[in-house]
Amino acid sequence: MIRQEPLRAFARGMHQDVMVGLSGLDDLAELLLSGLTPAEERAFRDWLRKALQTLTPAEMKGMLNRASPAIGFSSGGAYSLLRTAADQLGLP
């Protein structure tokens, strides 16, 4: 099972109005990544690498929705946000 703590650190900046003033998922991913400490970023990078290799979009949705219940993501939305974050971190 994949630990959820790194995802919680990434998602802690989400709230129901988080998208106000943001133009899309690129901005949201950048905002959430900017809130991570260097140690949290390393842990999230490792978590994300493993998640993208092993989890389905539906599983990502479940984990992201549990990590940040203020926003309900669809499977596609959760995958898109995490894939965008991976791209910004330079992950394959």
The answer for residues whose C-beta is within 8 angstroms of residue 22's C-beta and 6 or more apart is 28, 31
Domain, as residue range, for 83: 5-14+21-88
Q: State the pLDDT confidence band at 4, using cuts at 50, 70 and 90.
A: confident
Question: Which two three-digit tokens encode residue 67?
Answer: 């990590």
Question: For residue range 17-49, what is the model confidence (pLDDT) as tens digits?
Answer: 766 678 888 999 999 999 999 999 999 999 999
Looking at the 3D structure of the chain, how many domains does it have? Answer: 1
CB contact at 8 A, 68 and 11: yes
Please count the other Cβ atoms lying within 10 Å of the Cβ belonging to residue 31: 15
